[in-house]
Amino acid sequence: MANIGFIGTGIMGLPMAQNLVKAGHQLFLSSHHGTPPTALTDTGAQVLANPREVARQAEFIIVMVPDTPYVEAVLFGKNGVAEGTGPDNVVIDMSSISPSATKAFAEKIVATGARYLDAPVSGGEVGAKAGTLSIMVGGDQAVFDRALPLLQCMGKNITRVGGNGDGQTAKVANQIIVALNIQAVAEALLFAAKNGADPAKVREALMGGFASSKILEVHGERMIKGTFDPGFRIALHQKDLNLALEGARELHLNLPNTANAQQVFSTCAALGGSQWDHSALIKGLEHMAGFSIRDAKG
Protein backbone atom coordinates (compact mmCIF):
# COMPACT_ATOMS: atom_id res chain seq x y z
CA MET A 1 0.00 0.00 0.00
CA ALA A 2 1.23 3.47 -0.89
CA ASN A 3 0.32 6.84 0.61
CA ILE A 4 -0.95 8.90 -2.31
CA GLY A 5 -1.94 12.54 -2.45
CA PHE A 6 -4.60 13.17 -5.09
CA ILE A 7 -5.45 16.74 -6.11
CA GLY A 8 -8.25 17.19 -8.64
CA THR A 9 -11.26 14.91 -8.24
CA GLY A 10 -13.52 15.99 -11.10
CA ILE A 11 -15.03 14.02 -13.99
CA MET A 12 -11.76 12.18 -14.61
CA GLY A 13 -9.96 12.47 -11.29
CA LEU A 14 -12.70 11.01 -9.10
CA PRO A 15 -12.91 7.59 -10.79
CA MET A 16 -9.13 7.46 -11.11
CA ALA A 17 -8.81 8.08 -7.37
CA GLN A 18 -11.50 5.50 -6.65
CA ASN A 19 -9.51 2.88 -8.53
CA LEU A 20 -6.50 3.61 -6.34
CA VAL A 21 -8.66 3.12 -3.24
CA LYS A 22 -10.00 -0.16 -4.63
CA ALA A 23 -6.40 -1.32 -5.03
CA GLY A 24 -5.81 -0.73 -1.32
CA HIS A 25 -3.93 2.56 -1.36
CA GLN A 26 -4.36 5.33 1.21
CA LEU A 27 -5.42 8.67 -0.27
CA PHE A 28 -4.81 12.17 1.05
CA LEU A 29 -6.98 14.95 -0.39
CA SER A 30 -6.87 18.74 -0.17
CA SER A 31 -9.80 20.92 0.86
CA HIS A 32 -8.25 24.15 -0.47
CA HIS A 33 -10.82 24.40 -3.28
CA GLY A 34 -13.80 22.92 -1.47
CA THR A 35 -14.91 19.77 0.27
CA PRO A 36 -13.62 16.60 -1.44
CA PRO A 37 -16.25 14.11 -2.65
CA THR A 38 -17.84 11.82 -0.08
CA ALA A 39 -17.31 8.95 -2.51
CA LEU A 40 -13.66 9.12 -1.40
CA THR A 41 -13.90 10.34 2.19
CA ASP A 42 -16.47 7.65 3.03
CA THR A 43 -13.95 5.01 1.94
CA GLY A 44 -11.11 6.23 4.12
CA ALA A 45 -9.46 9.09 2.24
CA GLN A 46 -8.04 11.69 4.62
CA VAL A 47 -8.66 15.41 4.04
CA LEU A 48 -5.93 17.98 4.67
CA ALA A 49 -5.96 21.76 4.44
CA ASN A 50 -3.84 22.34 1.34
CA PRO A 51 -1.49 20.74 -1.21
CA ARG A 52 1.56 21.39 0.97
CA GLU A 53 0.12 19.27 3.77
CA VAL A 54 -0.85 16.57 1.28
CA ALA A 55 2.73 16.43 0.01
CA ARG A 56 4.05 16.10 3.56
CA GLN A 57 1.88 13.03 4.18
CA ALA A 58 2.16 11.27 0.82
CA GLU A 59 4.93 9.49 -1.05
CA PHE A 60 3.27 10.08 -4.43
CA ILE A 61 1.33 13.25 -5.27
CA ILE A 62 -0.99 12.98 -8.28
CA VAL A 63 -2.36 16.16 -9.87
CA MET A 64 -5.38 16.00 -12.20
CA VAL A 65 -6.63 19.53 -12.91
CA PRO A 66 -7.90 21.32 -16.05
CA ASP A 67 -5.06 23.49 -17.36
CA THR A 68 -1.48 24.75 -17.05
CA PRO A 69 -2.24 27.65 -14.66
CA TYR A 70 -4.10 25.27 -12.34
CA VAL A 71 -1.13 22.91 -12.21
CA GLU A 72 1.22 25.81 -11.56
CA ALA A 73 -0.96 27.05 -8.70
CA VAL A 74 -1.23 23.60 -7.11
CA LEU A 75 2.51 23.01 -7.35
CA PHE A 76 3.99 26.44 -6.70
CA GLY A 77 1.29 28.69 -5.26
CA LYS A 78 0.94 29.56 -1.59
CA ASN A 79 0.86 26.31 0.42
CA GLY A 80 1.57 24.45 -2.80
CA VAL A 81 2.97 20.97 -3.28
CA ALA A 82 6.55 22.22 -3.74
CA GLU A 83 6.55 23.60 -0.19
CA GLY A 84 6.05 20.08 1.14
CA THR A 85 8.13 17.89 -1.16
CA GLY A 86 11.50 16.30 -0.56
CA PRO A 87 13.66 13.33 -1.60
CA ASP A 88 10.97 10.76 -0.78
CA ASN A 89 8.32 12.26 -3.08
CA VAL A 90 7.27 11.62 -6.65
CA VAL A 91 4.97 14.23 -8.22
CA ILE A 92 2.84 12.82 -11.07
CA ASP A 93 0.98 15.40 -13.15
CA MET A 94 -1.79 13.59 -15.04
CA SER A 95 -3.40 16.80 -16.33
CA SER A 96 -3.15 17.76 -20.01
CA ILE A 97 -0.98 20.87 -20.13
CA SER A 98 1.78 22.66 -22.02
CA PRO A 99 4.84 20.49 -22.77
CA SER A 100 7.20 23.45 -22.38
CA ALA A 101 5.66 24.46 -19.05
CA THR A 102 5.92 20.84 -17.94
CA LYS A 103 9.68 20.86 -18.47
CA ALA A 104 9.97 23.99 -16.34
CA PHE A 105 7.73 22.54 -13.62
CA ALA A 106 9.80 19.35 -13.55
CA GLU A 107 13.02 21.30 -13.05
CA LYS A 108 11.53 23.23 -10.13
CA ILE A 109 10.19 20.09 -8.44
CA VAL A 110 13.48 18.24 -8.91
CA ALA A 111 15.22 21.21 -7.27
CA THR A 112 13.27 20.38 -4.08
CA GLY A 113 14.78 16.89 -4.11
CA ALA A 114 11.61 15.20 -5.37
CA ARG A 115 11.04 13.42 -8.70
CA TYR A 116 8.56 14.34 -11.44
CA LEU A 117 6.54 12.52 -14.08
CA ASP A 118 4.13 13.98 -16.60
CA ALA A 119 1.51 11.32 -17.27
CA PRO A 120 -1.52 12.65 -19.18
CA VAL A 121 -4.28 10.23 -20.06
CA SER A 122 -6.63 9.33 -22.89
CA GLY A 123 -9.79 7.27 -22.73
CA GLY A 124 -12.32 9.65 -21.25
CA GLU A 125 -14.65 9.15 -18.33
CA VAL A 126 -15.44 5.61 -19.47
CA GLY A 127 -11.77 4.64 -19.38
CA ALA A 128 -11.26 6.39 -16.05
CA LYS A 129 -14.09 4.43 -14.46
CA ALA A 130 -12.97 1.12 -15.96
CA GLY A 131 -9.31 1.65 -15.13
CA THR A 132 -8.39 1.23 -18.79
CA LEU A 133 -6.90 4.64 -19.59
CA SER A 134 -4.00 5.05 -21.96
CA ILE A 135 -1.25 6.85 -20.05
CA MET A 136 1.58 8.69 -21.82
CA VAL A 137 4.50 9.23 -19.48
CA GLY A 138 7.49 11.57 -19.55
CA GLY A 139 10.30 11.22 -17.02
CA ASP A 140 13.27 9.14 -15.92
CA GLN A 141 13.02 5.38 -16.36
CA ALA A 142 13.72 4.67 -12.68
CA VAL A 143 10.96 7.04 -11.57
CA PHE A 144 8.58 5.52 -14.12
CA ASP A 145 9.34 2.03 -12.80
CA ARG A 146 8.67 3.20 -9.24
CA ALA A 147 5.30 4.71 -10.17
CA LEU A 148 4.17 2.00 -12.60
CA PRO A 149 2.20 -0.09 -10.06
CA LEU A 150 0.06 2.97 -9.28
CA LEU A 151 -0.45 3.84 -12.93
CA GLN A 152 -1.56 0.25 -13.56
CA CYS A 153 -4.45 0.81 -11.14
CA MET A 154 -5.77 3.51 -13.47
CA GLY A 155 -4.73 2.42 -16.96
CA LYS A 156 -3.86 -0.46 -19.24
CA ASN A 157 -1.82 0.99 -22.11
CA ILE A 158 0.99 2.72 -20.22
CA THR A 159 3.96 3.96 -22.24
CA ARG A 160 7.05 5.85 -21.18
CA VAL A 161 7.49 8.12 -24.19
CA GLY A 162 10.71 9.80 -23.06
CA GLY A 163 11.88 12.54 -20.71
CA ASN A 164 9.85 15.19 -18.92
CA GLY A 165 7.51 16.95 -21.34
CA ASP A 166 7.37 14.06 -23.80
CA GLY A 167 4.26 12.62 -22.19
CA GLN A 168 2.49 15.94 -22.68
CA THR A 169 3.74 16.14 -26.27
CA ALA A 170 2.20 12.72 -26.94
CA LYS A 171 -1.08 13.87 -25.38
CA VAL A 172 -1.22 16.96 -27.59
CA ALA A 173 -0.65 14.70 -30.62
CA ASN A 174 -3.46 12.46 -29.36
CA GLN A 175 -5.82 15.42 -29.11
CA ILE A 176 -5.04 16.48 -32.67
CA ILE A 177 -5.97 13.01 -33.91
CA VAL A 178 -9.14 12.86 -31.81
CA ALA A 179 -10.34 16.30 -32.95
CA LEU A 180 -9.75 15.55 -36.62
CA ASN A 181 -11.48 12.18 -36.33
CA ILE A 182 -14.49 13.79 -34.66
CA GLN A 183 -14.62 16.36 -37.45
CA ALA A 184 -14.32 13.64 -40.11
CA VAL A 185 -17.18 11.63 -38.60
CA ALA A 186 -19.32 14.75 -38.22
CA GLU A 187 -18.75 15.85 -41.81
CA ALA A 188 -19.44 12.36 -43.16
CA LEU A 189 -22.73 12.00 -41.26
CA LEU A 190 -23.77 15.54 -42.21
CA PHE A 191 -23.04 14.83 -45.87
CA ALA A 192 -24.97 11.55 -45.77
CA ALA A 193 -28.00 13.01 -44.01
CA LYS A 194 -28.18 16.07 -46.26
CA ASN A 195 -28.07 13.72 -49.25
CA GLY A 196 -31.16 11.92 -47.95
CA ALA A 197 -29.60 8.87 -46.30
CA ASP A 198 -30.36 7.73 -42.75
CA PRO A 199 -27.22 8.70 -40.79
CA ALA A 200 -27.73 5.81 -38.35
CA LYS A 201 -27.75 3.30 -41.20
CA VAL A 202 -24.73 4.98 -42.79
CA ARG A 203 -22.85 4.71 -39.50
CA GLU A 204 -23.83 1.04 -39.22
CA ALA A 205 -22.50 0.37 -42.72
CA LEU A 206 -19.26 2.25 -42.12
CA MET A 207 -18.60 0.35 -38.88
CA GLY A 208 -17.94 -2.75 -40.97
CA GLY A 209 -15.28 -1.19 -43.17
CA PHE A 210 -11.95 0.63 -43.14
CA ALA A 211 -13.60 3.81 -41.85
CA SER A 212 -14.52 2.06 -38.60
CA SER A 213 -13.10 3.70 -35.48
CA LYS A 214 -13.85 4.14 -31.80
CA ILE A 215 -14.91 7.70 -32.54
CA LEU A 216 -17.35 6.58 -35.25
CA GLU A 217 -18.67 3.96 -32.84
CA VAL A 218 -19.06 6.10 -29.72
CA HIS A 219 -19.22 9.71 -30.87
CA GLY A 220 -21.03 8.90 -34.10
CA GLU A 221 -23.84 7.47 -31.98
CA ARG A 222 -23.79 10.57 -29.76
CA MET A 223 -24.11 12.79 -32.84
CA ILE A 224 -27.06 10.81 -34.17
CA LYS A 225 -28.90 10.71 -30.84
CA GLY A 226 -27.95 14.26 -29.84
CA THR A 227 -26.58 13.18 -26.45
CA PHE A 228 -23.92 15.78 -25.75
CA ASP A 229 -23.55 15.70 -21.98
CA PRO A 230 -19.80 15.67 -21.20
CA GLY A 231 -17.69 13.40 -21.43
CA PHE A 232 -14.89 15.62 -22.47
CA ARG A 233 -15.90 19.24 -22.75
CA ILE A 234 -15.38 21.35 -25.86
CA ALA A 235 -13.65 24.00 -23.72
CA LEU A 236 -10.98 21.50 -22.70
CA HIS A 237 -10.45 20.29 -26.25
CA GLN A 238 -10.08 23.90 -27.34
CA LYS A 239 -7.40 24.27 -24.68
CA ASP A 240 -5.57 21.22 -26.03
CA LEU A 241 -5.74 22.42 -29.63
CA ASN A 242 -4.43 25.80 -28.50
CA LEU A 243 -1.42 23.95 -27.09
CA ALA A 244 -0.99 22.22 -30.44
CA LEU A 245 -1.25 25.41 -32.47
CA GLU A 246 1.01 27.39 -30.13
CA GLY A 247 3.58 24.61 -30.26
CA ALA A 248 3.32 24.46 -34.03
CA ARG A 249 4.03 28.17 -34.31
CA GLU A 250 7.11 27.75 -32.13
CA LEU A 251 8.25 24.90 -34.40
CA HIS A 252 7.39 26.81 -37.61
CA LEU A 253 4.83 24.16 -38.55
CA ASN A 254 1.51 24.63 -40.32
CA LEU A 255 -1.36 22.47 -39.00
CA PRO A 256 -4.25 23.55 -41.24
CA ASN A 257 -6.72 20.82 -40.31
CA THR A 258 -6.10 21.34 -36.60
CA ALA A 259 -6.73 25.06 -37.06
CA ASN A 260 -9.96 24.31 -38.91
CA ALA A 261 -11.20 21.98 -36.17
CA GLN A 262 -10.45 24.69 -33.64
CA GLN A 263 -12.56 27.14 -35.65
CA VAL A 264 -15.51 24.73 -35.58
CA PHE A 265 -15.11 24.28 -31.82
CA SER A 266 -15.12 28.09 -31.55
CA THR A 267 -18.42 28.16 -33.46
CA CYS A 268 -19.85 25.72 -30.91
CA ALA A 269 -18.60 27.89 -28.06
CA ALA A 270 -20.24 30.94 -29.64
CA LEU A 271 -23.51 28.96 -29.67
CA GLY A 272 -23.17 28.49 -25.91
CA GLY A 273 -21.66 25.04 -26.17
CA SER A 274 -18.30 25.32 -24.45
CA GLN A 275 -19.50 22.78 -21.86
CA TRP A 276 -20.93 20.36 -24.42
CA ASP A 277 -19.17 17.08 -25.08
CA HIS A 278 -16.59 17.44 -27.86
CA SER A 279 -18.69 15.17 -30.09
CA ALA A 280 -21.02 18.18 -30.32
CA LEU A 281 -18.56 19.63 -32.83
CA ILE A 282 -21.20 18.46 -35.31
CA LYS A 283 -23.51 21.20 -34.01
CA GLY A 284 -21.06 23.80 -35.25
CA LEU A 285 -21.12 22.23 -38.70
CA GLU A 286 -24.91 21.94 -38.58
CA HIS A 287 -25.17 25.62 -37.68
CA MET A 288 -23.04 26.54 -40.68
CA ALA A 289 -25.13 24.26 -42.92
CA GLY A 290 -28.51 25.32 -41.55
CA PHE A 291 -29.36 21.63 -41.27
CA SER A 292 -29.37 19.02 -38.49
CA ILE A 293 -28.82 15.31 -39.01
CA ARG A 294 -31.26 14.64 -36.16
CA ASP A 295 -34.05 16.16 -38.26
CA ALA A 296 -33.27 13.74 -41.08
CA LYS A 297 -33.32 10.34 -39.34
CA GLY A 298 -35.43 7.62 -40.88
108 belongs to the catalytic site: no
Q: Which long-range contacts (CB under 8 A, 24 or more apart) does 15-20 make?
A: 15/125, 15/128, 15/129, 16/62, 16/64, 16/94, 16/121, 16/128, 16/133, 16/154, 17/45, 17/62, 18/43, 19/128, 19/131, 19/153, 19/154, 20/150, 20/153, 20/154
- For residue 38, the surrounding DSSP H or E stretch is helix 38-41
Catalytic residue, chosen from 22, 103, 129, 171, is: 171
Q: Report how far residue 44's alpha carbon sits from residue 228's, in angstroms, rounded to the nearest whole number.
A: 34
| Torsion over CA: 150, 151, 152, 154 (sign) | positive
Q: What are phi and psi of 35, to 5 degrees?
A: -75, 125
Angle at 49 between CA 105 and CA 63, to 5 degrees: 30
Task: Say which residues have a Cβ less than 8 Å from residue 152's Cβ, sequence separation at least 6.
Answer: 158
Q: Quick check: bond before 290 cis, omega within 30?
A: no
197: region left, alpha or beta (phi > 0 left; psi from -120 to 50 alpha)? beta
Q: Active-site residues: which are they? A: 171
